[in-house]
Structure 1
Amino acid sequence: LKNAEQITGIGRGIAFQLVENFGLINRRDIAEEMKSLDQEGRAALRRLGVRFGAYHVFVPALIKPAPAGLVTLLWALRSDGKDKPGFGDVVHALASGRTSVVIDPTFDKAFYKLAGYRNLGRRAVRVDILERLADLIRPATNWKPGLGQRPDGAYDGQSFMVTPPMM
């Protein structure tokens, strides 16, 4: 992303922010840039592995255990964080296949983000799982009775029922 010549303008700015944030940005933090990003810019970033979710812009390849471990190590070296509580522990949870973990309050919160997790209350949930869940819930909450076929999980157009794919 850092040296991608095919990315120009606002797309280059978003790519720079992704590099600076180790491949994960909360979409609301770049809302203005996202509004201005044209389809060509989005396509160029997608070709380089960027995913545009409803709540995050991220590089899925970086939330796999080996890359997340390297990202965590690089951050720790840059931020003098190798001795901070949680170094390596969160990546270990990711490597074990955990899609969510209970947040350990003694751990540096940065380690969760570096491993691709989003802190939500007492749990940290992988951002790709959050995006997948949002994609399943959105049609269920947007459906209105009498307007087409009821999507899985749709209840009354304001709430939804949990379906097996959401679990």
Structure 2
Amino acid sequence: MILKSEDKQFKLADDGQILWQADATNPLPGVPVGAIKKGETLLKPVAEANGDNLPEGQDKAAVQEKLQEWLDRYIHFSLEPLFRLTGGDDLSEQARSIATQLQGALGILPRSALEDVIAGLDEEGRKGLRARKVRMGPLLVFLPELNKPAAVKLRATLLTLWQDKPLPAQVPKDGVVSFTVADKEIDPDYYRSIGYPVYGPRSIRVDMLDRVVCAVYDGAKDGKFKAEHKMAEWFGSNILDLYAVLEAMGHTKIYDPAEEKAKEEAPVAPVIPEAVAEDVSSEVVAPVAPEVKAKPELATFRLKRGKANEAAKPREPKKFEKK
């Protein structure tokens, strides 16, 4: 029975158990017939059959081999962009180095860890990485295709298993853009590896983080930039958290209109004489439409010093001498 089952009849549960549904037309999860165990590499865990739950007459060794084959296919299918990185022979030495390191890090690394290799990339190397959908952002190098909830959850499961920690893994809610970690004890490297780098009080999905980082450098002028309301909207955070994230990236807040306004003295309300107040209260006042207030100006930051900052500076036009 199990040996002739289709892939859709198996499912990897959050707690690491492998479930089998005897009826191929039934979409519900089945019964546990095995579990995953730590293997020789992070991306190749071992499938171990549970002899107590196998249907009568099923050979445990044969079932275990079947489960392993399914598990390998499932991981390869779910994380296909990761395995695609090192396939083919079209990558230059530098590009292959980036691809290999990125694969070992589950598809995301700080750009600073790869900067020297990136500097040595030729156009063919960059073309090969683009073909593999590698995004080399100002802050992070990553695979956007792995931001899907299924890929996030599987990477979390594999990494938790590899680190000898109990399952189920700690995983953000499906599709969440960011969440607060200010009051939690967390492992920043773990969350970065599953696609949610931690900056300041928030863990942020890498594609949205990259979107804000690009907006920062695109809007920078003379080494400074102004925070924008849309950045907080992209994060799904308040303004103070946005400021904290930007500062955690290494940018320095140099002017905050809200802080300046708070320093000013509050205006004193005029005192209306009692007699006048009575006269006014007897009048019929037409309703006034509420005033639509513009969003307040946000803080200005100085860009973090470094290669990304240098890249944001306007380039000097090339000068050509007449021959």
Q: Normalization by structure 2: what TM-score?
A: 0.42
For 1:33-75, what per-residue CA distance to the aligned partner results, in whole angstroms no more than 9, with x for missing partners?
A: 0111112111111111111111111011112110111112222
8 A contact 2:92–2:124 mirrored in 1: no
Aligned residues: 148
Q: Does 2:242 match 1:158?
A: no
Instruction: Give the SS at the match of 1:49.
Output: coil
Q: Does 2:218 match 1:139?
A: yes
For structure 1, the 5+ residue unaligned runs are: 145-156
Q: Residue 47 of structure 1 aligns to which amino acid in structure 2?
A: A
Q: Compute the displacement of 1:118 (Å).
A: 1.2
Segment drifting more, 157-166 vs 30-39: 157-166
What residue number does 1:124 align with?
203
Q: In 1, distance between residues paired with 2:180 and 2:125?
A: 37
Q: In 1, distance between residues paired with 2:188 and 2:229?
A: 31
What residue number does 1:38 align with?
122
Q: In 2, distance between residues paired with 1:39 and 1:81?
A: 42
Q: In 2, distance between residues paired with 1:112 and 1:81?
A: 14
Q: Does 2:170 match 1:52?
A: no
Question: What RMSD in Å do the two structures reach over aligned CA positions?
Answer: 2.1
1:1-167 equivalence runs, <5 A? 1-83=85-167, 87-90=168-171, 92-93=172-173, 95=174, 97-103=175-181, 105-142=184-221, 158-164=224-230, 167=233
Higher strand residue share: 2
For 1:113-146, what per-residue CA distance to the aligned partner results, in whole angstroms no more than 9, with x for missing partners?
A: 232111112211122112111222223222x6xx
For structure 2, the 5+ residue unaligned runs are: 1-84, 234-323
Higher helix residue share: 1
Q: In 1, distance between residues paired with 2:93 and 2:217?
A: 31
Q: Residue 207 of structure 2 aligns to which amino acid in structure 1?
A: D
Q: Compute the displacement of 1:165 (Å).
A: 6.2
Instruction: Give the SS at the match of 1:141.
Output: coil
Q: Normalization by structure 1: what TM-score?
A: 0.78
Q: In 2, distance between residues paired with 1:36 and 1:49?
A: 19
Larger CA Rg, structure 1 vs 2: 2
Query: Quick one: structure 1 residues 165 and 158, their matched pair in 2 at CA, closer, same or farther if it must change by over 3 Å?
Result: closer
Query: Quick one: structure 1 residues 158 and 75, their matched pair in 2 at CA, closer, same or farther if it must change by over 3 Å?
Result: closer
Q: In 1, distance between residues paired with 2:106 and 2:220?
A: 32
